[in-house]
């Protein structure tokens, strides 16, 4: 018995709700606006929870709704324990939590613990002088003799990771915007304070945390220069000029995860999913989920950064986790990357998007589905003058960047805001191409992508082998992805045509379709797949 199986056997199904779950990501700013200001809010989340529950998902992940000056749209927190008035109040959040639980939905919330806003009271105090109770809560370093920053580290949004503070006459570290100073986790008081924040929300009843860039919480204490990265041509942003060996993914971060895990596990049926952003994507994902003292699960950008959804991509993801001790999470899209329908499924339209949804739902791991993916929304067009995301603006080369995945959710095809808001203006414009794909229109069509999504999720819920079972990649002709899932006496054979061509693969007798897409069929001991078709086959065997 492997370490992962041994851990699973010591936990009850209730405690393990997250293992194999499908979780729906809500980006509150763009989900539903109830007060007409053009920005989504928590009452809007509450209003649409019945729709989320109708998808059959197990829970929701709420992107940040905390007090923030919104320099990075909520990922620059100025108060971890309060709701920004833009989104509502703590009472509104409590109402969301109560209703979600009544619908059988778990609620996990974003926690941005690597850094704060520069308007957070902790930083305001820390930056005031070198002698105050929080003077060492952030990473302060003297300049080099020539006034230069202490090393060559480059921030993810471009430019040096260091900003000069005239009052302290020192540089402070920020891995992202200068308005997002990094907390100093070498200081035990910082760790203790973050644990207090976690307790605040756990006591309030949340079911878990999504931990933003959790591998960034520690930096190399010696402040060594990062080595130069190899590249064929100059990268888009200066951060790609170097390998980030010393400003993230430091071993000390794993020790703090042990403290977080102990706290989380002291509550019933809670979980943590980490966002682990690193060049060693799958390796780091496994490192951060190794039981029993690290995260319950984590996702990397292995699938999120893919530009082609080839069979080899998914086969590598599954094979890399075969026999691993931890538990993976997978997503094809979120608020940080171009939408799946444009990034990975542009060649085959709706059928292509649906087969990729089928692949995602059939993977071994915990699945995250970003709002709008169930509608096959393409990347929205946002003109330069209407871009809001600082990274989209800084990295502008003609596309809409992250803002193209953050535009308002289309609920109806009518009106300027497609049912998102009663206001005259929305914080980002609604793309006209999204309106024909609106929820109300797809609700009326069982054959729509929304209908396909519901059937896929229902199948995963109905088949423990799909939710929890082992996964083994099977050799298949070019363009086909094939793998088996299995648990107990149930075996599943999952086949997906990803190249846009008709394909056929022989199968043994005894397989019966559990679900097919695009008219896939079994004829004469062979599965016949149309372009972007899928077949999930089932058979019952002796105990395995």
SS3 labels along 54-87:
HCCCCEEEECCCEECCCCCCCCCCCEEEEECCCC
- Which residue in 179, 164, 152, 170 sits closest to 247, CA to CA? 152
Q: Can you name the residues that pair with 63 across neighbouring β-strands? A: none
Helix (H) or strand (E) holding 438: none
Q: What is the DSSP letter of 377?
A: P
- Rounded distance between C-alpha atoms, residue 141 and residue 143, angstroms: 7
Neighbours of 519 (CB within 10 A): 9
- Rounded distance between C-alpha atoms, residue 253 and residue 243, angstroms: 18
- Rounded distance between C-alpha atoms, residue 296 and residue 272, angstroms: 6
- Rounded distance between C-alpha atoms, residue 239 and residue 278, angstroms: 12
Q: What residues contact 312, with CB distance under 8 A and at least 6 apart?
A: none
SS3 (DSSP) at 22: strand
Q: In terms of C-beta density within 10 A (0-12 exposed, 13-18 middle, 19 or more buried), how is residue 504 classed?
A: middle
Contact 218, 252 (CB under 8 A): yes
- Which residue in 202, 207, 325 sits closest to 271, CA to CA? 207
pLDDT at residue 15, rounded to an integer: 80
Contact 43, 88 (CB under 8 A): yes
Taking only the tens place, the pLDDT of each residue in 243-266 is 999 999 999 999 999 999 999 999
Cα 274–Cα 48–Cα 57 angle in degrees, nearest 5: 45
Contact 26, 372 (CB under 8 A): no
Q: What is the DSSP letter of 436?
A: G
Q: What residues contact 453, with CB distance under 8 A and at least 6 apart?
A: 55, 357, 369, 373, 374
pLDDT at residue 141, rounded to an integer: 98
- Which residue in 152, 130, 150 sits closest to 142, CA to CA? 150
Cα–Cα distances in Å, from 251 out to 114, 247, 298? 15, 11, 17
Query: For strand 512-517 and strand 490-497, is the pairing parallel, antiparallel, or unpaired?
Result: unpaired
Quick check: bond before 269 cis, omega within 30? no
Q: In what order do the strands lie in the sheet with 480-487?
A: 470-473, 480-487, 490-497, 534-540, 512-517
- Which residue in 285, 297, 277 sits closest to 209, CA to CA? 297
Taking only the tens place, the pLDDT of each residue in 332-357 is 999 999 999 999 999 999 999 999 99
pLDDT at residue 377, rounded to an integer: 98
SS3 (DSSP) at 160: strand
Q: What is the DSSP letter of 127?
A: T
- Rounded distance between C-alpha atoms, residue 154 and residue 149, angstroms: 11
- Rounded distance between C-alpha atoms, residue 517 and residue 531, angstroms: 10
Tokens matching residue 9:
């056997």
pLDDT at residue 127, rounded to an integer: 98
Q: 78-84: long-range contacts at Cβ-Cβ below 8 A with a sequence spacing of 24 or more? A: 78/116, 78/117, 78/119, 78/120, 78/121, 79/120, 79/121, 80/111, 80/197, 80/200, 81/197, 81/200, 81/201, 83/42
Q: Which residues are designated catalytic?
A: 212, 275
Q: Can you name the residues that pair with 538 across neighbouring β-strands? A: 492, 512
- Domains, the chain, ordered by start: 3-115+188-457 (3.20.20.80), 467-540 (2.60.40.1180)
- Rounded distance between C-alpha atoms, residue 140 and residue 168, angstroms: 9
- Rounded distance between C-alpha atoms, residue 282 and residue 482, angstroms: 20
Query: For strand 366-370 and strand 470-473, is the pairing parallel, antiparallel, or unpaired?
Result: unpaired
Residue 49, CA atoms < 13 Å, CB-side half-sphere: 25
Residues of the chain with confidence (pLDDT) below 50: 1-11, 543-544
pLDDT at residue 21, rounded to an integer: 98
- The model's pTM is 0.96
Contact 209, 272 (CB under 8 A): yes
* Residue 208, phi-psi category: left (phi > 0), alpha (psi -120 to 50), beta (remainder): left
Query: For strand 512-517 and strand 534-540, is the pairing parallel, antiparallel, or unpaired?
Result: antiparallel
- Which residue in 272, 365, 464 sits closest to 20, CA to CA? 365
């Amino acid at each position: 018995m492997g370490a992962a199986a041994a851990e699973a056997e010591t936990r009850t199904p209730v405690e393990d709700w997250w293992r194999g779950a499908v979780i729906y990501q809500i980006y509150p700013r763009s989900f539903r606006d109830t007060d007409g200001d053009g920005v989504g809010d928590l009452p809007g989340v509450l209003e649409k929870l019945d729709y989320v529950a109708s998808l059959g998902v197990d829970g929701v992940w709420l992107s940040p709704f905390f007090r923030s000056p919104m320099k990075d749209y909520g990922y620059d927190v100025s108060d971890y324990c309060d709701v920004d008035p833009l989104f509502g109040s703590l009472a509104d959040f409590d109402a969301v939590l109560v209703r979600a639980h009544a619908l059988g939905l778990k609620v996990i919330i974003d926690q941005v613990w690597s850094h704060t806003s520069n308007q957070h009271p902790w930083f305001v105090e820390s930056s005031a002088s070198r002698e105050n109770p929080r003077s060492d809560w952030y990473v302060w370093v003297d300049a080099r003799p020539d006034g230069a920053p202490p090393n060559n580290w480059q921030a993810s949004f471009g430019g040096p990771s260091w900003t000069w503070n005239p009052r302290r006459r020192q540089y402070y570290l920020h891995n992202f915007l200068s308005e997002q100073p990094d907390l100093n986790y070498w200081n035990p008081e910082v760790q203790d304070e973050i644990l207090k924040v976690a307790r605040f929300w756990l006591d309030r009843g949340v079911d878990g945390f999504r931990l933003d860039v959790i591998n960034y919480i520690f930096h190399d204490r010696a402040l060594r220069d990062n080595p130069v990265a190899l590249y064929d041509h100059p990268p888009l942003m200066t951060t790609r000029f170097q390998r980030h060996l010393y400003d993230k993914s430091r071993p000390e971060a794993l020790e703090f995860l042990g403290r977080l895990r102990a706290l989380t596990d002291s509550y019933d049926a809670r979980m943590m999913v980490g966002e682990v952003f690193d060049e060693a994507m799958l390796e780091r994902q496994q490192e951060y989920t190794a039981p029993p003292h690290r995260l319950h699960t984590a996702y990397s950008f292995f699938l999120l950064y893919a530009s082609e959804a080839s069979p080899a991509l998914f086969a590598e993801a599954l094979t890399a986790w075969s026999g691993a001790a931890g538990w993976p999470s997978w997503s094809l899209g979120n608020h940080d990357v171009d939408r799946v329908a444009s990034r990975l499924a542009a060649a085959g339209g709706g059928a292509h998007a649906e087969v990729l949804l089928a692949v995602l739902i059939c993977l071994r791991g915990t699945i995250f589905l970003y709002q709008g993916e169930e509608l096959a929304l393409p990347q929205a067009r946002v003109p330069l003058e209407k871009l809001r995301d600082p990274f989209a603006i800084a990295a502008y080369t003609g596309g809409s960047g992250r803002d193209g995945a953050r535009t308002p959710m289309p609920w109806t095809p009518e009106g300027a805001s497609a049912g998102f808001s009663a206001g005259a203006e929305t914080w980002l414009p609604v793309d006209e191409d999204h309106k024909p794909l609106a929820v109300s229109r797809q609700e009326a069509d069982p054959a729509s992508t929304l209908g396909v999504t519901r059937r896929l999720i229902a199948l995963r819920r109905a088949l423990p082998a799909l939710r929890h079972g082992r996964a083994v990649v099977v050799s298949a002709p070019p363009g086909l992805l094939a793998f088996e899932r299995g648990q107990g006496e149930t075996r599943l054979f999952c086949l997906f045509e990803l190249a846009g061509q008709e394909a056929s693969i022989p199968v043994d007798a005894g397989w019966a379709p559990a679900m097919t897409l695009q008219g896939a069929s079994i004829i004469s001991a062979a599965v016949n797949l149309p372009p972007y078709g899928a077949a999930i086959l089932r058979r019952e065997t002796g105990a395995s």
